[in-house]
Chain A
Amino acid sequence: MSAQTPQASRMRGLLLVAGREIRVRGLSKANLISLIVTVVIVGVLAALPSLIGGDDSDEKIGLAGSTAPAMQAQLDAMGGFDITIYDSAAEAEQAVEDETVEAAVTDGALYSLDGVANEVETKIDAAWQAASVQTNLAAAGLSDQEITGALTVQPLEFVTLESASGVTGPLDYFTGLIISIIMFMMLMTPVQYIAMGVVEEKSSRIVEILLTSLKPWQLLGGKVIGLGVISLVNLVAMIAVGLGVSAATGMLADLPPGTSSAAVSTIGWWLLAFALFGTLAGGVGSLVSRQEESGSVLTPLIMSLTLSYLGAIFLLNAPTSTFAEVLSIVPPFSGIAMPTRMAIAEVPAWQIVLSGVLLALAAGGALALGSQLYKRSVLYTGSRMKLSEALRRAA
């Protein structure tokens, strides 16, 4: 047995408890399987947009007639077409019937079996018009240079303006939705595990042995840290896979500029919210002695988590409303609401700071309250202890 300073042994106790949670829960088959499944789902979701839009095989088009060279030039310039030149309109028509090409353009006619996709039709039409103009201009006696000059058009510059509501776009809505769902799940699961773990130790009476070598705060703190680490690993894995797959498929560049930072700052919000809900869950869990009763004491926590989530969903539709501002500043709702709001709208810095400070204060308060509750009621067995009684009891 090694001699240790009291501080070192206090930390060691905390870490031992956390380590046990990680070993027993985090490395359990159930958790590993669910992590793998979740990561695969996130990866597939992230890859989905590029998979759906990934059909870039060139459109096979046949060309014939005197306009064919001009058309070919236009279509080549647009890209996405696999062009075959036929000697006559009849041959081109035959090619369409044989389905060697999707469509064929001769002098003045577009042949196809059952029409062509809108997008393709638009392009062919545009090419046809440009080619016709070019042919007409040449017929009118203009030189090639003059024709090029006349046809050179500065393309439109697309400028996306934020609407008055501050909503930046549908992709932000999606990001906000994903953030709120992940936050909700990543809080709900460990919070329930913490309460279950506390009740397990209490109902199996093992807590009595534990408390001969550990302080209550070490036992509760270690449990919260341990489950926190497990959830954090899951959360980071999800975000990393999501961003990684997006980067690999080239989608990352298409996401709104704030997406990556929003995803990363979500981890910070999660830490604060988890500290708040986790320690409270441990505190109220210690009020009961049997697993069946844990549901009743957890209800207020589950309710406020659910309300936070529903509020965040509502907020997505009105991110600049007063409701959204209040919800994203007042704890405990701000834990989910703020990162969601940050994903969808521009949030003034002072609101972010205020919200963070309030949430941190609330988490500190929850830590104190939760550990007091725990300390006072963890050894009390029998019927459920009333909250007021636990608070009144001397530790």
Chain B
Amino acid sequence: MLEIKDLHKRFGDTVALDGVSLTAAPGEVVGFVGANGAGKTTTMRIAMGVLAADSGQIVYDGTPLDVETRRRFGYMPSERGLYPKMKTAEQIAYFGELHGMSRAEAKRAAAALLEQLNLADRAGDFVQDLSLGNQQRVQLAVSLVHDPEALILDEPFSGLDPIAVDVMGTALKDRAANGAPVIFSSHQLDLIERLCDSVVIIGSGRIIAAGSVEALKAKEVKQLRVSVQTPEDLTDALPGTVTRDGDDYLVEDADDQEVLRVAVAAGRVTHFAYDQPTIAEIFREAVTR
């Protein structure tokens, strides 16, 4: 269990974090969403010990996170960085060693990851000679080489091609399936929706919404959408406040069973369900609230 507890951070007069808390249970994939400058990167940097918080703490499995434990985490910063004049495989293995692997283990892991990322033939090339997309893959390999027991990834999908997105997504799911807590931020909300068990929305240094994807969607439930095959206009016949959306009726403030009865009486009901908001809609809703 990775717990980020009540982080506060100021940069000069700017309050970057104002009591940010979030948790990731073992095996849970947490999506961290927020507008630019909301505090995602600052939160993740503090969690990885790259930045010191003014107050608050990071707790892992019940004890404050120390350097030794943190070395077993995988981290991808928002600002990507690799040694341009170092060979690809050598570089990945170097990071493996920094994370505590033996040289042989690190070399093996690097070779395996390069194979997985379709980069095996570039193992001996300097990183600066790779295309940007391939450099991103190397960056991914660097964060995964030591088989991390927890993942904190800042915008891991930005700049990835669809294949790399799949590899990354699979990697996240795999780690989570092995019991690792995973926290990642992204602006690609469809990915968050697809990959995450829960979502945390941050705005201006504060958590403004958090919970499992289902719970968030349920909380933000919108109108009842009804589609009936009938020549008649049911706007007035249906109970509650009714609006048209194309051929569909959107019903609010009414007993759904009553609505169904009226609809069935009018004709063949082809659709009858509450509209589920997308994460994108929940996000927009949350940040503008």
Contacts and interface: CB of A to CB of B under 8 A. Distances in A.
B99 A205 contact: no
A4 interface: yes
B65 to A, nearest CB: 11
A96 B69 CA distance: 92
Interface string B85-99: 110001000110111
A207 interface: yes
Contacts of B86: 20, 24
A2 B68 CA distance: 12
Contacts of B82: 204, 206
Interface of A: 1-2, 4, 6, 9, 13, 16, 20, 23-24, 200-201, 204-215, 379, 381, 395
Interface stretch (B100-108, B169-177, B191-199, B234-242): B100-108
Contact of B77 (A1, A205, A213): A205
A16 B97 contact: yes
Contacts of A209: 75-77, 81, 95, 142-143
A205 B49 contact: no
A207 to B, nearest CB: 7
A227 B97 CA distance: 20
B81 A1 contact: no
Given A1-B99, A9-B100, A212-B71, 20 more contacts: A1-B72, A1-B101, A2-B100, A16-B97, A20-B94, A24-B83, A201-B81, A204-B83, A208-B79, A208-B81, A209-B77, A209-B142, A211-B49, A211-B50, A212-B49, A212-B70, A213-B70, A213-B95, A379-B50, A381-B79
B50 A1 contact: no
Contact of B68 (A6, A23, A210, A379): A6
B265 interface: no
B94 A205 contact: no
B213 to A, nearest CB: 29
Most A CB contacts (10 A, CB to CB) among B68, B76, B102 go to: B68
7 contacts: A2-B102, A205-B77, A205-B79, A206-B83, A209-B142, A212-B75, A215-B67
A123 B179 CA distance: 96
Contacts of B90: 23
A111 B142 CA distance: 86
B92 to A, nearest CB: 12
Nearest to B95: A209
B155 to A, nearest CB: 13
A205 B81 contact: yes
Contact of A213 (B45, B52, B71, B83): B71
B84 interface: yes
A207 B80 CA distance: 10
A191 B275 CA distance: 65
A215 B79 CA distance: 19
Nearest to B149: A1
B51 interface: yes
B113 interface: no
Contacts of A24: 83, 85-86
B73 interface: yes
Contact of B48 (A201, A212, A214): A212
Nearest to A15: B97
Contacts of B206: none
B98 A210 contact: yes
B158 to A, nearest CB: 14
B151 to A, nearest CB: 12
Given A24-B86, A205-B80, A208-B45, A213 B98 contact: yes
B40 interface: no
Contacts of B101: 1
A209 B80 CA distance: 9
Contacts of A206: 81-83
Interface string B27-61: 00000000000000000010011111000000000
Nearest to B96: A1
B146 interface: yes
Nearest to B142: A209
Contacts of A207: 81
Contacts of B85: 24
B113 to A, nearest CB: 15
Contacts of A200: 83-84
A393 to B, nearest CB: 11
B95 to A, nearest CB: 7
Contacts of B102: 2
A144 B231 CA distance: 155
A2 B79 CA distance: 30
B72 to A, nearest CB: 7
Contacts of B52: 395
A24 B86 CA distance: 7
Contact of A214 (B83, B98, B105): B98
A385 B234 CA distance: 69
The 5 closest A-B pairs by CB, nearest first: A206-B81, A205-B81, A205-B79, A208-B77, A204-B81
B51 A379 contact: yes
A205 B51 CA distance: 14
A4 B97 CA distance: 13
Contact of B105 (A1, A210, A379): A1
Contacts of B142: 209
B100 A16 contact: no
